Amino acid sequence: MADHQVLAGAHVVLPTGTVENGRVIVDGDRIAGSAPENAPVLDLTGHWLVPGFVDMHNHGGGGASFTSGTVDEVLKGVHTHRLHGTTTVVASFVTGEMDFLTQRAGLLSELAEQGEIAGLHFEGPFISPCRKGAHDETLLRDPDPAEVRKLIDAARGRAKMVTLATELPGGLDSVRLLAEHGVIAAIGHTDATYEQTQAAIDAGATVATHLYNAMPALGHRAPGPIAALLEDERITVELINDGTHLHPAALELAFHHAGPERVAFITDAMDAAGFGDGRYMLGPLAVEVKDSVARLVEGGSIAGSTLTLDRAFQRAATVDGLPVEAVVQAISANPARLLGVYDRVGSLEPGKDADIVVLDADFTLKGVMRKGEWIVDPTADTTA
Asked whether the predicted pLDDT for residue 3 surpasses 90, the reply is no
Based on the fold, state whether residues 319 and 207 are members of the same structural domain. yes
Domain membership flag for residue 67: yes
Asked whether the predicted pLDDT for residue 143 surpasses 60, the reply is yes
State percent of the chain over pLDDT 70. Answer: 98
Q: What is the pLDDT of residue 2?
A: 52
Based on the fold, state whether residues 251 and 277 are members of the same structural domain. yes
Based on the fold, state whether residues 57 and 45 are members of the same structural domain. no
Domain membership flag for residue 382: no
Asked whether the predicted pLDDT for residue 255 surpasses 80, the reply is yes
Rounded to whole angstroms, how far apart are CA atoms 92 and 179? 19
Taken in order 115, 332, 360, 254, the sign of the CA dihedral is positive
Q: What is the domain count for the chain? A: 2
Rounded to whole angstroms, how far apart are CA atoms 4 and 21? 19
Question: Which residues have a Cβ under 8 Å from the Cβ of 34 and sit 6 or more positions away?
Answer: 25
Are the C-beta atoms of residues 130 and 191 closer than 8 Å to each other?
Answer: yes
Taken in order 106, 109, 113, 114, the sign of the CA dihedral is positive
The residue segments making up the domain with residue 15 are 4-50+347-376
Per DSSP (E only), the strands in 177-290 are 184-187, 207-208, 236-240, 263-266, 278-282, 285-290
- Could you say which of 55, 191, 242, 268 is catalytic? 268
Rounded to whole angstroms, how far apart are CA atoms 91 and 108? 8
Based on the fold, state whether residues 324 and 367 are members of the same structural domain. no
Domain membership flag for residue 172: yes
Q: What is the pLDDT of residue 1?
A: 38
Domain membership flag for residue 221: yes
What CATH number has the domain bearing residue 360?
Answer: 2.30.40.10
Based on the fold, state whether residues 36 and 143 are members of the same structural domain. no
Rounded to whole angstroms, how far apart are CA atoms 265 and 351? 25
Based on the fold, state whether residues 221 and 171 are members of the same structural domain. yes
Asked whether the predicted pLDDT for residue 21 surpasses 90, the reply is yes
Q: Which of 150, 158, 156 is nearest to 89 (CA)?
A: 158
Amino acid identity of 69?
G
Amino acid identity of 38?
N
Based on the fold, state whether residues 60 and 41 are members of the same structural domain. no
Rounded to whole angstroms, how far apart are CA atoms 147 and 141? 10
What CATH number has the domain bearing residue 291?
Answer: 3.20.20.140
Based on the fold, state whether residues 18 and 89 are members of the same structural domain. no
Backbone φ, ψ for residue 367 (5° rounding): -155, 150
Asked whether the predicted pLDDT for residue 68 surpasses 70, the reply is yes
Based on the fold, state whether residues 268 and 310 are members of the same structural domain. yes
Domain membership flag for residue 220: yes
Active site residue 268: yes
Q: What is the pLDDT of residue 286?
A: 87
Based on the fold, state whether residues 41 and 58 are members of the same structural domain. no
292: confidence class by pLDDT, cuts 50, 70, 90: confident
Q: What is the pLDDT of residue 287?
A: 87
Domain membership flag for residue 381: no
| pLDDT tens figures, 72-127 | 999 999 999 999 999 999 999 999 999 999 999 999 999 999 999 999 999 999 99
Domain membership flag for residue 138: yes
Based on the fold, state whether residues 115 and 198 are members of the same structural domain. yes
Domain membership flag for residue 384: no
Based on the fold, state whether residues 265 and 370 are members of the same structural domain. no
| pLDDT tens figures, 182-233 | 999 999 999 999 999 999 999 999 999 999 999 999 999 999 999 999 999 9
Asked whether the predicted pLDDT for residue 169 surpasses 80, the reply is yes
